[in-house]
Structure 1
Amino acid sequence: MFVRIVKLSFHQENIPAFLENFELMKDKIRNAPGNRFLELYQDKDNKCIFFTYSYWETEADLENYRKSELFYDVWSFTKKLFNDKPEAWSVDKLVSLE
């Protein structure tokens, strides 16, 4: 399993549309094959910056999601709202203190 972190930056006036769409799509994304966890964060200082944080079983699962109709629907809507290029990282969790 690995963690996917995506940084998204929006025009302020587009934040409500993003949040509304995320609310509609979050369960579908969370239930995509191989997805084990999904959360959304907002930067404390710059309210236009958000992060998604998700756990994926395998890289193939993430790639299958990225090639899916669901991803196309989510991304084609979301990318119109950006004020900067998104950034993404795939990382391995090394330590958990749970």
Structure 2
Amino acid sequence: MKQILIFLALGGMLAIMISSFMQMPPMGNPDNPSYNEVAHHYLERSLDETQAPNVIANIITDYRAIDTLGEATVLFTSIAAVLTVLSGKDKKPDGGGVHHG
């Protein structure tokens, strides 16, 4: 019964994914959401607004700085968590109850 529910859930997610894909505009269509005024604004005005010639660096450090800081924070936290788990020591009590002293 559990496997049937899992397959039904996965099938439902697949149906949602396929229906979403079918509603997407075709590649290269000027009506795509990726072709909007933000990209044109970055390309046309980044030199005047940031005084730096590298448009990609301007987008990352000036326009999207908070987003980049958030991504760096998530990466740092995940690395710290993994290192903490991997460096943990298995603390087992001394066996047998024999005390030397």
TM-score (norm. length: structure 1): 0.23
The structure where strand makes up a greater share of residues is 1
TM-score (norm. length: structure 2): 0.22
The structure where helix makes up a greater share of residues is 2
